[in-house]
Amino acid sequence: MAIEIYWSKRADKKFDKILEYLLVEWGERITGMFVKKVYDFLDILSEFPEIGTIENKEKEIRGFTIVKQINIFYKVSGYKIIILDFFDNRQDPEKKRF
């Protein structure tokens, strides 16, 4: 049974910013490839919610590398998955906010 996926406002805004950047710097083809990777991952995630590594044990936050530059962070809460944030791995790891 697939679990429903919800996006936080932060994740939604970050995703839009990533897409804007990719479109300007790399064009439509690369942007489309990134979007496909994210949604392919979300399809898998809805079936296998524990696929990501534990990033914060106390808050039960998991992470997964979409592409080497971008990680996605999420939390499984009951029968739903909440996408919390996208993180550019080239940033200082202290900037992770969860």
Range of the structural domain that residue 80 is part of: 4-90
pLDDT at res. 12:
97
- In this prediction, residue 89 carries a pLDDT of 87
pLDDT value of position 3: 92
- The answer to the question of residue 60 being in a domain is yes
CATH at 22:
3.30.2310.20
Residues in the chain: 98
Given a cut of 70, the residues of the chain with pLDDT beneath it are: 1, 92-98
End-to-end CA separation in angstroms for the chain: 28
**Distances 85 to 10, 48, 62 between C-alpha atoms, Å:** 6, 19, 11
Q: What is the pLDDT of residue 90?
A: 82
